[in-house]
Chains A and B, each alone.
Chain A
Amino acid sequence: MTQLELKSLTKSFGAYKVFDGLNLAAESGEIVVIFGGSGTGKTILLRLIAGVEEPTSGFIEIEGNDVADIAPEHRNIGMAFQNFALFPHMSAFENIATPLRAQNAGAGAVKAGVDNVAKLLKIDHVLGHAPRELSNGQKQRTALARALAAEPRILLLDDPLRNVDAKLRFEMRLELPRLLRQTGATVLYVTQDYKEAMALADRIAVIANGKFIQTATPEDIYLKPATLGVARLFGDPSINTADTKVEMIGKTANVTLGGVKVPINSAYKQDGNRDVTFGVRPEAVEINAPNRAGLVAKVMAVTPLNERTVLLLHSEGGWEFLASLPSSASNIPEPGAKVKATFAASGTHLFDKTTAERLHG
């Protein structure tokens, strides 16, 4: 069942359009990650849904009902803010109890509700503390607990892991999906960390230039990016690119990388003479693969990054690109070595030069 639906939602401040005609339908219990850089209006989108700000045009529907005339306190939404927004004059317990008290729950029900969610988030030992006595991680959990306490139908989480340290962020990235599923709520989760998006999402909605440029599962976003922009946002190190033209030599499609023609996979043989941007993920660069023609390149630098090792390569024609190999691989070359690079089809894409859209969806 569709729990939350955005219909051509538009918000502008004066002449400046933050976003223009957003459409999204989130199923009941689904976790949708809104992913985009800073300044793309992710937080404003959550504010519109919560009702603390009004859209310029378009509709927000919760369970099929337009909520334009429903005040924020009646929307049955839980929201966790990026800056926590705890009530500084109340204890952690009272902070978490706020939504329960607003529903006029009895003292027993309030206590049970707070204890339950506090135990879930492992903050039951600091409930008596004032917010200023909590660590950032505890503040973040308190804010999350407050959003969860009244078991809302819709949860809006605004980059909740932004202000916590790396260790806790890693732990929470593992814990959160289970926790969020347990609530059964429809979750809109805002982040600008692509790993967080991949780890948590049922679907990712990528926002840029005021539009959702792709809304799809994490796998599809990674393997079939809709545009060059999306391909660049997901992946670390990010995708290698080169502006080129598809040329047919016999029946094989070729691209020119630094003056050297390199054959690419057969899917692109109808695209002869087209101006394109060639993209290959560093993970899809193969080093010294047997029986295939490739690009001769010199290894400029070798950087081990935990389980992956990143190579900086310089092709004979002067194209610089990165390759990422498992650190356990036996064929990691020394700096200065000459290698042959080939590109695995699954990580190789062509994007139209003018529209930046990926060819052959």
Chain B
Amino acid sequence: MDHSSTVEKVLRSALITLVLIFFLFPIFWIFLMSLQTNETILRIPPSIIFEPSFDNYRALITGKLQTNAGNIDIAFMRNLWNSVVLSTFSVALSLLLGVPAAYAFARFKFRLGEDIAFTLLSFRFAPPLLVLLPLSLYFKTLGLTNTYIGLIWVYQLICLPLILWIVRGYFEDISPDIEHAYRIAGNNWWKTFTRVAIPLARPGIAAAGLLAFIFAWNNFVFALILASADKQPVTVGALAFVTASGIQYGQIAAAIVLSVTPTLALALYAQRYLVEGLSMGAVKG
């Protein structure tokens, strides 16, 4: 299979190493920062030799932020928990609504079908600031301000179009004959949907779910306007590290490490479904 010469191999490895360093070094540096105090971070010249301490993590987990101006209470763990709750339930709801809808758009031609699908997509590229003002007014009237349900609802603007359009493409790629064969064999359409269509589109569903989770996790502006402290996710909560007495670099670094962990774990978990999709494509005779 591999006909490349030694020179090519060396060159390729060097290039890959370069790319990896470019992308991973900042993350590595942040990880190092998270184990240092503000003083060691800010010394000149910087050095990777220091005495590691877990003070930053301790401060975040206990919620007591020590600054030159005294102790400040921060709700970082609360924010992290909010992020997990909001992203998880938003994606779950989007999958519940989006996967059947994607199937309908892929399989059936109905009146205004394309228009509805496109309208849903347009939510994705409408600027959030355009909808925020009316939305916050409606939310006040409806009593949805500062509730998980309200935020999860708004997060559908982010997750639903993404899942709908990605998964629809995967459903369209499944030969309708495969589903016809399952029905003729004696199964109703619901069984055909759950036992054939969904398993075959699983790589797409996993990819779309992961992507939607990342977008929901990274959202800032909706949560900033529509939620107050106790419902705010980690993206908004991070603002608390910019204090009157300066910026707590070490704690910000520790917070970043903690807040990327769930997304990273999910990506590693979902990876096997994504790879499974690549090998499944080889089936059609």
Contact = CB atoms under 8 A, between A and B. Distances in A.
Contact of A163 (B183, B283, B285): B285
Contact of A50 (B175, B178, B184): B184
Contact of B285 (A71, A73, A84): A84
Nearest to A75: B184
A86 interface: yes
Contacts of A136: 285
B139 interface: no
A163 B177 CA distance: 16
Given A83-B284, A88-B283, A89-B200, A73 B183 contact: yes
B185 A102 contact: yes
Nearest to B178: A85
Contacts of B200: 88-89
Given A83-B175, A84-B285, A132-B282, A146 B199 contact: no
Contacts of B184: 50-52, 72-73, 75, 77-79
B180 A50 contact: yes
A137 to B, nearest CB: 10
B182 interface: yes
A263 interface: no
B175 to A, nearest CB: 6
Contacts of B188: 71, 73
Contacts of A52: 180, 183-184
A81 interface: yes
Contacts of B279: 132
A170 interface: no
A132 to B, nearest CB: 5
Given A85-B175, A88-B200, A89-B280, A146 B181 contact: yes
A87 B196 contact: yes
Interface residues of A, number: 32
A131 interface: yes
Nearest to A97: B185
Interface in A288-311: none
B199 A89 contact: yes
A87 B285 contact: no
A330 interface: no
Interface string A88-115: 1100000000110011000000000000
A83 B285 contact: yes
Interface in B177-209: 177-178, 180-188, 196, 199-200
Nearest to B282: A132
B186 A81 contact: no
Interface in A145-178: 146, 150, 163
B185 A85 contact: no
A117 to B, nearest CB: 13
A47 interface: yes
Interface string B152-194: 0000000000000000000000010110111111111000000
Nearest to B187: A102
A313 B175 CA distance: 49
A139 interface: yes
A103 B181 contact: no
A126 B280 CA distance: 19
Contacts of B285: 83-84, 86, 131, 136, 139, 163
Contact of A85 (B181, B186, B199, B282): B181
A88 B285 CA distance: 10
Contacts of A83: 175, 177, 284-285
A84 B178 CA distance: 8
B283 A72 contact: no
Contacts of A132: 279-280, 282-283
Interface of A: 47, 50-52, 71-75, 77-79, 81, 83-89, 98-99, 102-103, 130-132, 136, 139, 146, 150, 163
Leading 8 A-B pairs by shortest Cβ distance? A102-B186, A88-B283, A85-B177, A99-B185, A85-B181, A98-B185, A52-B180, A132-B283
15 contacts: A50-B184, A71-B188, A73-B187, A75-B184, A83-B284, A84-B285, A85-B175, A87-B178, A87-B181, A89-B280, A98-B187, A102-B186, A136-B285, A146-B181, A146-B185
Interface of B: 175, 177-178, 180-188, 196, 199-200, 279-280, 282-285
Given A52-B184, A86-B178, A87-B182, 8 more contacts: A50-B180, A72-B184, A73-B186, A79-B184, A83-B175, A83-B284, A102-B186, A131-B285
